[in-house]
């Protein structure tokens, strides 16, 4: 496995692979990797000759008072995990390499509608930052496909719409959420949790599964179900940002006649913001 930091070297290497007819898969990350990321790399390695994992803490997708400065940078440990997962190239550029003229002068990609609501409402401009940097990575790597985790359900929907609308010749592949034994979705931010908070954190997934069970039993009073779920979370010691039951395709609030539903949740446990989701067909 090789780690590179410059766009020039990345393109030189990838052009060589393309001339040999190699297929290329991309796994975009912000580093501080865990088993969930490793599963994305393994999935990419099953279908591509060459797997590129990018590690870039993207300042454009962090809002004011978010954890940009304290977000863990763990390149050495990340490299070990990626090599064991079958990765080929690590692309770890600097902020200067990605945004040479600074953020204020950077062209931005905005994906309308699907970026609104949910995390888009709580983190204004977040998905503009995601869409912009992913577009840049797609242009730099020019992969045949890219793998993203389904834990970030709205992000995956944003990227799929962006690729479709801009007619990018890239397949976007979703990979299932990887969980701890107690159901907590693996996340780089889980490391922020204290021991007591970590004990409480599985309530997020438990609340999702309880609500999904109510839907499977025939309940369709969606606003009431959302309120019940928020109460469960808040009573357990979390501070609910949102708990939304949506149409899985449009991410709009579920309505009568919808059958494929996704339950989206974001909640604070102390200062740590946890997100998760569960899909259900009724």
Tens digits of per-residue pLDDT, 215-265? 999 999 999 999 999 999 999 999 999 999 999 999 999 999 999 999 999
- Is the sign of the CA dihedral 51, 46, 37, 175 positive or negative? positive
- Confidence at residue 17, expressed as pLDDT on a 0 to 100 scale: 98
Q: Which domains does the chain have, with CATH numbers?
A: 2-175 (3.40.50.620), 188-281 (3.30.1300.10)
- Confidence at residue 141, expressed as pLDDT on a 0 to 100 scale: 98
- The tens digit of pLDDT for each residue in 154-206 reads 999 999 999 999 999 999 999 999 999 999 999 999 999 999 999 999 999 99
**What is the separation, in whole angstroms, between the first and last Cα of the chain?**
45
Rounded mean pLDDT of 104-121?
97
- Confidence at residue 65, expressed as pLDDT on a 0 to 100 scale: 81
Q: Strands of 2-4's sheet, edge to edge?
A: 2-4, 89-91, 50-55, 24-29, 145-149, 171-175
pLDDT higher than threshold 90 for residue 1: yes
Tokens representing 272 are: 């740590």
- Confidence at residue 235, expressed as pLDDT on a 0 to 100 scale: 98
- The tens digit of pLDDT for each residue in 62-87 reads 988 888 998 999 999 999 999 999 99
Is 118 considered catalytic here? no
CB 72 within 8 A of CB 137: no
- The tens digit of pLDDT for each residue in 5-42 reads 999 999 999 999 999 999 999 999 999 999 999 999 99
Rounded mean pLDDT of 83-105?
97
CB 250 within 8 A of CB 257: no
Residue pointed to by tokens 């590690």: 55
Q: Which runs of consecutive H residues, i.e. helices, occur in the chain?
A: 7-19, 35-47, 75-85, 95-98, 119-122, 126-141, 153-165, 195-200, 203-216, 222-235
- Confidence at residue 64, expressed as pLDDT on a 0 to 100 scale: 84
Residues above pLDDT 90, as percent of the chain: 97
User: What mean pLDDT is reported for the chain?
Assistant: 97
- Confidence at residue 130, expressed as pLDDT on a 0 to 100 scale: 98
Q: What is the CA radius of gyration of the chain?
A: 19
Catalytic residue among 34, 37, 118, 126: 37
Question: How far is 36 from 175, CA to CA, in rounded Å?
Answer: 9
Question: How far is 214 from 226, CA to CA, in rounded Å?
Answer: 11
Contacts of 169 (CB under 8 A, 6+ apart): none
- Confidence at residue 21, expressed as pLDDT on a 0 to 100 scale: 97
- Confidence at residue 152, expressed as pLDDT on a 0 to 100 scale: 97
């Amino acid at each position: 496995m090789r780690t590179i930091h410059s766009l020039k070297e990345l393109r030189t290497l990838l052009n060589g692979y393309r001339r040999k007819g190699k297929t290329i898969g991309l796994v975009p990350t912000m580093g501080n990797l865990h088993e969930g990321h490793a599963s994305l790399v393994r999935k990419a390695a099953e279908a591509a000759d060459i797997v590129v994992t990018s590690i870039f803490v993207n300042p454009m997708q962090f809002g004011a008072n978010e954890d940009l400065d304290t977000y863990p940078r763990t390149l050495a440990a990340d490299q070990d995990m990626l090599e064991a997962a079958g990765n080929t190239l690590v692309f770890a550029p600097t902020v200067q390499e990605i945004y040479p003229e600074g953020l204020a002068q950077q062209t931005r990609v905005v994906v309308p509608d699907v970026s609104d609501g949910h995390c888009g409402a709580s983190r204004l401009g977040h998905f503009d930052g995601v869409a912009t940097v992913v577009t840049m990575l797609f242009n730099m790597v020019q992969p045949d496909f890219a793998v993203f985790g389904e834990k970030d359900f709205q992000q995956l929907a944003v990227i799929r719409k962006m690729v479709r609308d801009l007619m990018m010749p890239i397949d976007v592949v979703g990979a299932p959420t990887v969980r701890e034994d107690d159901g907590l979705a693996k996340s780089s931010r889980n490391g922020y949790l204290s021991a007591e908070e970590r004990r409480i954190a599985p309530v997020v997934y438990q609340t999702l599964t309880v609500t999904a069970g109510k839907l499977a039993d025939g309940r369709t009073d969606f606003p009431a179900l959302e309120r019940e779920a928020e109460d469960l979370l808040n009573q357990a010691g979390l501070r609910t940002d949102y708990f939304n039951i949506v149409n899985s395709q449009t991410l709009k609030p579920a309505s009568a006649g919808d059958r494929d539903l996704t339950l989206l949740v974001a909640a604070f446990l102390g200062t740590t913001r946890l997100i998760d989701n569960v899909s259900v067909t009724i």
